[in-house]
Amino acid sequence: MMKVDIIKELVEKNNGIITTKLLNENRIHRQYLKSLVDNGYLVKVSRGVYTRPDKDINEFYLVGQQYKAGIFSHNTALYFYNLTDRTPFELDMTFASNIRVSNYMLVPHYINKEKLDIGATVKELEDGTSIRIYNMERTICDIIRDRKKIDSQIFNTALKEYMKRSDKNLNLLYEYAKKFKILKILKMYLEVLS
């Protein structure tokens, strides 16, 4: 099978998207990608991400591809879990503290590398793409840790909505709260809501 045909097959299997990472994993040189762009089969949508021209790409997916070291968090994660009624104007992402990010669309948060992956998960989006995002319990811990920087209405709504959820995992929430040394504060907020 020719390399161009392999790329087309990968594009179809990957919901109309191809990344240079996927090419590298399949040991295909980027020159073949360039020829598919030149003849109009693919368009470049961001660094390392190409799609069919008729494919609408989710903004969250693109940002996640651009900042692979980051994980969607805080207000952005609250939005995905329906724990807030506000659509974020900027996207929150958490990075290891040894990385610095500057982008007007992003609100970067930093944490030591050992705690970065606690609660990280992959969320499938409606268009078939996926992003790295913190689970609900980690998100609740993050907003409690940063409670002085979070709008009080967003903070209170998120906690109330979380407590109403049938899919909440209080054991996991307490486990994370211990790791982040906020268990006492968490219990105080949960007592008020009970």
For 102-139, how does the pLDDT look when each residue is reduced to its tens digit (9 = 90+)?
888 899 999 999 999 999 999 999 888 899 999 999 99
Locate 124 and state its tokens: 């499938």
Residue 88 has pLDDT above 90, yes or no: no
User: Which residue(s) pair with 51 in the sheet?
Assistant: 17, 43
Burial class (CB within 10 angstroms; exposed 0-12, middle 13-18, buried 19+) of 71: buried
Cα 58 from Cα 78, distance rounded (Å)? 18
Locate 66 and state its tokens: 């651009």
**How are beta strands 130-134 and 120-124 bridged, if at all?**
antiparallel
State the Cα angle at 45 between 44 and 47, rounded to 5°. Answer: 80
Q: Specify the residue for token string 């651009």.
A: 66
User: Which residue(s) pair with 111 in the sheet?
Assistant: 96
Residue 1 has pLDDT above 70, yes or no: no
* Residue 66 confidence (pLDDT): 87
Prediction pTM value: 0.83
**Which helix (H) or strand (E) segment is 170 a member of?**
helix 170-179
* Residue 115 confidence (pLDDT): 97
- Mean pLDDT for all residues in the chain: 92
**Tens-place pLDDT, residues 27-45:** 988 888 888 899 999 888 8
pLDDT band at 74 (very low <50, low <70, confident <90, very high): very high
As a whole number of angstroms, the longest Cα–Cα distance in the chain is: 64
Beta-strand ranges (E) seen in 71-154 are 71-72, 91-96, 106-111, 120-124, 130-134
Q: Which domains does the chain have, with CATH numbers?
A: 3-56 (1.10.10), 60-193 (no CATH)
* Residue 127 confidence (pLDDT): 83
